[in-house]
Structure 1
Amino acid sequence: MGNLFSRSVDREIREALLNNDEASAAAVLQQYLHEQENIPLNIAVTGETGSGKSTFVNAIRGVGGDAEGAARTGVLETTMEVTPYPHPKFPNVIFWDLPGIGTTDFTAAKYLKLVEFERFDFFVIISDRFRENDVKLAKEIQKKKKKFYFVHSKIDDNIRNERRSQREFSEERTLTQIRETCIQSLQDQGFESPQVFLVSSPDLQQFDFPLLAETLERELPDLKREAFQLAMPNTSLEMIDRKKKAFKSKIKYLATLSAAVAGVPVPGLSFAVDLSLLVGVITRYVFAFGLDISSLKKMSYHSGVPYEELKEVVTSPLAATVLTPALVSNLLVQTASLVALIAAEEGSRFIPILGIPVSMILSFVTIYKALNIFLDVLADDARRVFEKTTLNCRG
């Protein structure tokens, strides 16, 4: 079953199927897939008060500053609080808002012990000017062999201020100067070849955020990488393609789960489980591609494209709606290539001896085809929405 399964899980599933215990195989497979979807990813975000770290935490989670559960912005840090902010749609991805080391009396080593360094997968150090405390913290993280990333926040403010003060303003020249100044400052403090990402939290599509996301994906372990990938906003067409590829790699295992359930001789069970499975998986597709109602409304607000215009470029009835088993069921029976498979699966159950094996094969094919069809359409919708909003912002 490929690299997705550990050897012990693979053995359990195979043994159950060989013993004609499809119910046990389905239970093991369902539990394992659930665990894979909930791999924890803990991201620490630190920086001095006023550096923009809380705004960054909100932006990367797709949460408005005044929304329920948003990280507080513009509040002086006077206590040593480490605050978790789970992603609203992928709660296994948690952003931890850490007070900047400059707000404490601790050394970098004691600071990391106090915030429980070991629980974090990597650190994002945010500043508008990297100071001694930022560097001390980075060096201590480096000693402990964990990843950290320097992010220069509020780059939109820098651009705006430079545009006002210069007669012959050049955005490219300004960005180059800011990046070189940051890198030189870090080199002067002992970093040989630091990388600094210039980010604007109000518009993550601009500047270096897509590069930051790509770098994080590349450097995370496989399962953590996928958790991060799905929780990220669509900042490029390449990001959408990578999400689609990640989802596509799981379809054969989800189809295997459907087949295992189809082998349980209980009338109506297979279709009921398939509907529940499809609703859960498609919901993840919709959330990851930003095609749910709340995400589209946020994109409308930030891009200036009216919400109704965004809905017009969306072709799938699965997007911008409330997903229900009834809706998915209607789509299944309206899809010509699936209707015959569903009917054949149910009919095959009444064939003596061969009925159950045939229904398992048909169930696998049905779910495999259905998920590929729905994924392709939703990924195409995500690309059209991205192009619509990007074109408007550039215009």
Structure 2
Amino acid sequence: MDNPHDIEQIAAIKEELQTNGPASAAAKIQDYLDKQDNVQLNIAITGESGSGKSTFVNAFRGIPNRDKERAAPSGVKETTTDPTPYPHPNYPKVTLWDLPGIGTIRFPADEYLKKVGFDRYDFFIIISADRFRENDVKLAKEIQKMGKKFYFVRSKIDNNIRDEKKTRGSEFNDEEILKEIREDCIQGLEGHVESPRVFLVSSFELHLYDFRLLEKTFAEELPANKRKVLLLALPNVSLEIIRKKKGALQANIKYLAAGSALGALAPVPGLSVAVDMAMMVKTTSKYQATFGLDSESLQSLAQTVGMPVEELRAVMTSPLAAQEISTEVIIKVLSSSLIFISLMAVEEGSRWLPLIGFPAAMAASAACTYKSLSMFLDMLAEDAQKVFEKALGLNTSV
């Protein structure tokens, strides 16, 4: 069922079609899609030096620390000397800003927000490798005063779990350890920050612990347009995120199909099909990147989990798997579908029928686009689930 925003948008497109004609309606659809692609999201990652900010930035973007060209430099010392932007590799409008550690000589706590450019960020993630300290509390209070969201992230949880397992031996219980760490962090913040929430995260194992809870909190508190672009840029750390991504991408197919239908009115044989092919290549490439199935993303995932990339490619079964999307690839996949061939023939043939030709062409074009993109999305979402299961497994109950 369409949400209220979709119903409103569809009504506006229909009105544009009736008032100003197909070209204007098609332009309105394209403008709507372009606005979605141009939504900017700036996320500030801050905390004291050595807290794991840079490693978190890299993990969020799906880039291993060892990638010297694209990764934020990380280490035990403070490696960030100025606010540094790191755009998402597949969604460059989503930028994570690695901020200098608060309380350093160049960035004292009382001047921190001004010096790092507070206004540019949509929300802040305050990271600590142990207890949150006085500077973290000061920062949170100032952010709260200025009406923006912030989230406390306790990093390097995997190290704590490993150390406690060695110490406690047979009495070790991971859920009890996590509860103790969370309560200890919250107690240190209570009385200073209103209703503090702390998320326990391992940047090397985002599929474990609280990262999924952090993602759900973002979804509840961000505006709808920014919520969607954040979802699409998230790493695939759970099957639920893959399903949510599929749903978000599926919601746009009706607009692409409507644009295809309006394009079918062009009185030039073959033009509509050519335009649709270019759109399908672009859209399917976007699906592939969103699910992390392009070559670069697969290579990064393989490095992160310590697995040969060939093993990840081997579990992908769709004809779109592990290759660059091109017109030839799209045609090859669609040529096996009798429905597609029939609809394409109907579109071109019906264009010249008197009176009913254009409506028939529009219906065929819309149906062809909708069915084709839905099929591609299903294929790639299924491959994404298989790659996730191979790379990370399903033991994500912690």
TM above 0.5, yes or no, is: yes
Q: How does 1:347-362 map to 2 (within 5 A)?
A: 347-362=349-364
CA distance in 2, matches of 1:309, 1:74: 30
Q: 2:175 aligns with which of 172, 175, 184?
A: 172
Runs of 4+ in 1 over 6 A off after TM superposition: none
SS in 2 for 1:62: coil
CA gap of 1:57–1:110, structure 2 versus 1, over 3 A, is same
Output aligned runs, 1:119-138, within 5 Å.
119-128=120-129, 129-138=131-140
Corresponding residue of 2:374: 372
Q: 1:313 aligns with which of 312, 315, 328?
A: 315
Does residue 52 in structure 1 map to residue 52 in structure 2? yes
Whether contact under 8 Å (1:300, 1:306) holds in the other structure is yes
Deviations 1:342-386 (A, max 9, x none): 111111122233222211111111111111111122212212222
Aligned pairs (5 A) from 1:271-290 = 271-290=273-292
1:31 aligns with: 31
In the other structure, the counterpart of 2:340 is 338
- Report how far residue 267 of structure 1 moved: 2.1
SS at match of 1:194: coil
1:264-288 Cα deviation digits (max 9, x unpaired): 2122221111111111111121111
TM-score normalized by structure 1? Answer: 0.91
Q: Is 1:183 the counterpart of 2:186 in the alignment?
A: yes
2:100–2:107 contact (8 Å) kept in structure 1: no
Q: State whether residues 65 and 73 of structure 2, in contact with CA within 8 Å, keep that contact through their aligned partners in structure 1.
A: yes
Query: Aligned partners of 2:237 and 2:288: how far apart in 1?
Result: 16
How far did residue 320 of structure 1 move?
1.1
Amino acid of the structure 2 residue aligned with 1:378? L
Aligned-partner Cα distance in 2 for 1:70–1:300: 15
Q: Is the 8 A contact 1:49 1:100 kept in 2?
A: yes
2:188 matched to 1:156? no
Instruction: Tell me how far apart the structure 1 counterparts of residues 98 and 80 of structure 2 sit (CA, whole Å).
Output: 13
Measure, in 2, the Cα distance between the counterparts of 1:202 and 1:80: 24
Deviation at 1:107, TM superposition (A): 6.0
- Percent identity over the alignment is 52
Q: Look up the match of 1:329.
A: 331
| Root-mean-square deviation (Å) | 2.4
Distance in 2 (alpha carbons) for counterparts of 1:52 and 1:78: 10
Q: Which moved more, 1:292-301 or 1:279-288?
A: 292-301
Structure 1 window deviating more from structure 2 (149-158 vs 73-82): it is 73-82
My pick for the range that moved more, 252-261 or 156-165, is 156-165
1:201 aligns with 2:203: yes
Structure 1 residue 71: Cα displacement: 1.0
Pick which of 142-151 and 265-274 moved more: 265-274
Which stretch of the first structure deviates more once superposed, 285-294 or 49-58? 285-294
1:239-278 aligned at under 5 Å gives the runs 239-278=241-280
Which shifted more, 105-114 or 177-186?
A: 105-114
The one-letter code matched in structure 2 to 1:42 is N
On the 8 A contact 1:251/1:372 being kept in 2, the answer is yes
Deviation at residue 140 of structure 1 after TM alignment: 0.8
Which amino acid is 1:276 matched to? A
* C-alpha distance in structure 1 between counterparts of 2:223 and 2:304, whole Å: 32
Greater mean deviation of Cα atoms: 19-28 or 313-322: 19-28
Q: Is the Cα contact below 8 Å between 2:80 and 2:99 reproduced in 1?
A: no
Q: State the secondary structure of the residue aligned to 1:123.
A: strand
Q: In 2, are the aligned partners of 1:22 and 1:264 still within 8 Å (CA)?
A: no
